[in-house]
């Protein structure tokens, strides 16, 4: 949507991708189909690593046809030679190749458009075939063919089908892979415009594509069935063991951790695929509604077929994902309960250890006081002895002293000094300990 000079001058600056976003809804218009026509569509799962090879393969075809190749970052492309056309579209996880050719072959599905491709080119497309289908668009009138006549297009297999587009056409398919590896669609044009015909056939192709994509999660869901039953029983047993106090908390926690790892691993493997399955099923429902089906006597409509055949598989996928999520939540709850129980037991053990340490400290304190008392007595004893020696020495040099009196008087003095010194030491140690408690980072 390029701005004119006037717009550029009167509008604020545009966001960087304004034009790209505005044109996105116009990027892939449906291909107009002139009746009669033949079409083939092939959908291929392509890994991100193979995207460059995919474009290179398209460029090789363009070189053969001598037409302009797709640009480096193209997500859709169309080209052709004469009445033969190729339309390529890149989607999230797959790419679709639609080949069209005017007119019909001598027999139904006997000459599909892909016969016009270079030999081996179709087989060489990078990726894995998701689905492939041929379609024939036939001019019809008000009177539709009988179910038996339509079955002739599908190897005498009764198809599903309905009037579509408000009576402007009819569509038939058997959702079967035939001997050539392709499904088949027949669309009868009663009064469809070329654009209408293109939209209707594109919806039919998309229904088949999304049906296969939606079912990619089904084998995963079926494979998890037995594991889910085993995990549910294991969790029930663990919860019972925890409630009864059977087994050690450590062994229960180890088993619970392993169970949680198994469940989370399965959930991680299937979550994205299951979410995609739901999204594709929603697209199928929308595309069927856009067909505006009206019943044809003796045939199932496409909506009825999908409801009876596809819906149970989607329900299985959703149920499996739901059971996995519920298991994951329950494992989390049981883990939380067990962790709380372990924490309480550990706290009780810590309290017991602290009490034991306190008792030991108290005993040590009493022993220390007793030792201090003995230390004071020893100091008094030895101090009095020293005073006695000093008194005797003084008496020997002529000083008149009563040695016993001097020793006796010194004893209480020495005792008081010793007790005072011990008290000061205690007070100093207490002050240091209190300061450390108030300032632990100092």
Relative orientation angle of helices 311-396 and 302-309, to the nearest 10 degrees: 40
Q: Are 148 and 192 in contact (CB under 8 A)?
A: no
Antiparallel, parallel or unpaired: β 169-173 and 160-164: antiparallel
| Burial class of residue 261 in the structure, from the number of CB atoms within 10 Å of its CB (0-12 exposed, 13-18 middle, 19+ buried) | exposed
pLDDT digits (tens, 9 = 90+) for 294-318: 999 999 999 999 999 999 999 999 9
pLDDT digits (tens, 9 = 90+) for 184-193: 999 999 999 9
Burial 157-169 (b: 16+ CB within 10 A, else e): eebbbbbbbeebb
Q: Are 88 and 58 in contact (CB under 8 A)?
A: yes
Looking at residue 22, its pLDDT comes to: 79
Q: Please give the DSSP secondary-structure letter assigned to residue 69.
A: P
H/E element holding 270? helix 249-291
pLDDT band per the 50, 70, 90 thresholds, residue 438: low
Looking at residue 27, its pLDDT comes to: 67
pLDDT reading at 442 higher than 60: no
pLDDT band per the 50, 70, 90 thresholds, residue 6: very low
Looking at residue 3, its pLDDT comes to: 46
- Stronger pLDDT, 121 or 409, i.e. the higher one: 121
Distances (CA, A) of 227 to 157, 224, 258, 265: 38, 5, 14, 12
Burial 182-211 (b: 16+ CB within 10 A, else e): bbbbbbbbbebeeebbbbbbbbbbbbbbbb
pLDDT reading at 372 higher than 70: no
Lowest-pLDDT range of 34-43, 216-225, 340-349? 340-349
Looking at residue 437, its pLDDT comes to: 55
Q: Please give the DSSP secondary-structure letter assigned to residue 13.
A: P
Q: Please give the DSSP secondary-structure letter assigned to residue 127.
A: S
H/E element holding 170? strand 169-173
pLDDT digits (tens, 9 = 90+) for 40-69: 999 999 999 999 999 999 999 999 999 999
Looking at residue 220, its pLDDT comes to: 92
Q: Are 293 and 163 in contact (CB under 8 A)?
A: yes
Q: Are 395 and 403 in contact (CB under 8 A)?
A: yes
Q: Report the mean per-residue pLDDT for the chain.
A: 86
Q: Assign 88 to helix, strand or coil.
A: strand
Question: Residues 241-257: what's their mean pLDDT?
Answer: 78
Please give the Cα distance from 214 to 273 (Å, whole number). Answer: 8
pLDDT reading at 411 higher than 90: no
Please give the Cα distance from 160 to 147 (Å, whole number). Answer: 9
């Amino acid at each position: 949507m390029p701005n004119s000079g006037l717009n550029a001058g009167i509008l604020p600056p545009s966001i960087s991708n304004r034009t790209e976003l505005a044109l996105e809804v116009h990027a892939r218009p449906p291909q107009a189909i002139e009746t009669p026509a033949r079409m083939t569509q092939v959908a291929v799962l392509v890994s991100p690593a193979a995207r460059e090879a995919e474009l290179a393969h398209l460029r090789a075809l363009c070189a053969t046809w001598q037409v302009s190749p797709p640009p480096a970052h193209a997500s859709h492309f169309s080209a052709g030679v004469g009445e033969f056309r190729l339309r390529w579209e890149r989607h999230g996880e797959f790419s679709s190749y639609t080949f069209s050719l005017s007119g019909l072959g001598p027999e139904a599905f006997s000459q599909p458009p892909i016969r016009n491709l270079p030999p081996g080119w179709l087989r060489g497309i990078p990726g894995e075939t998701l689905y492939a289908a041929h379609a024939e668009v036939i001019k019809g009138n008000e009177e539709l063919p009988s179910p038996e006549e339509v079955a002739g297009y599908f190897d005498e297999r009764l198809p599903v089908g309905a009037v579509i587009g408000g009576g402007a056409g009819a569509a038939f398919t058997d959702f079967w892979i035939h001997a050539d590896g392709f499904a088949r669609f027949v669309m009868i044009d009663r009064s469809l415009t070329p654009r209408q015909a293109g939209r209707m056939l594109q919806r039919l192709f998309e229904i088949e594509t999304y049906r296969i994509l939606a079912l990619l999660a089904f084998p995963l869901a079926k494979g998890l069935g037995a594991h889910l039953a085993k995990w549910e029983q294991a969790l029930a047993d663990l919860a019972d063991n925890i409630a009864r106090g059977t087994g050690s908390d450590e062994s229960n926690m180890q088993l619970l951790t392993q169970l949680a790892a198994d469940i989370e691993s399965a959930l991680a493997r299937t979550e994205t695929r299951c979410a995609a399955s739901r999204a594709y099923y929603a697209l199928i429902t929308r595309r069927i509604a856009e067909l505006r089906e009206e019943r044809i006597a003796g045939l199932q409509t496409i909506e009825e077929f999908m409801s009876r055949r596809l819906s149970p598989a989607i329900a299985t996928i959703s149920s499996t994902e739901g059971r996995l999520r519920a298991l994951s939540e329950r494992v989390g709850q049981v883990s939380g309960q067990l962790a709380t129980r372990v924490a309480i037991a550990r706290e009780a053990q810590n309290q017991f250890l602290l009490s034991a340490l306190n008792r030991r400290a108290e005993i040590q304190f009493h022993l220390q006081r007793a030792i201090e008392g003995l230390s004071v007595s020893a100091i008094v004893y030895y101090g009095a002895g020293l005073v006695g020696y000093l008194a005797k020495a003084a008496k020997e040099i002529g000083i008149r002293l009563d040695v016993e009196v001097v020793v006796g008087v010194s004893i209480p003095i020495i005792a008081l000094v010793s007790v005072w010194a011990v008290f000061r030491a205690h007070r100093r140690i207490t002050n240091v300990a209190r300061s450390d408690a108030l300032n632990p980072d100092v």
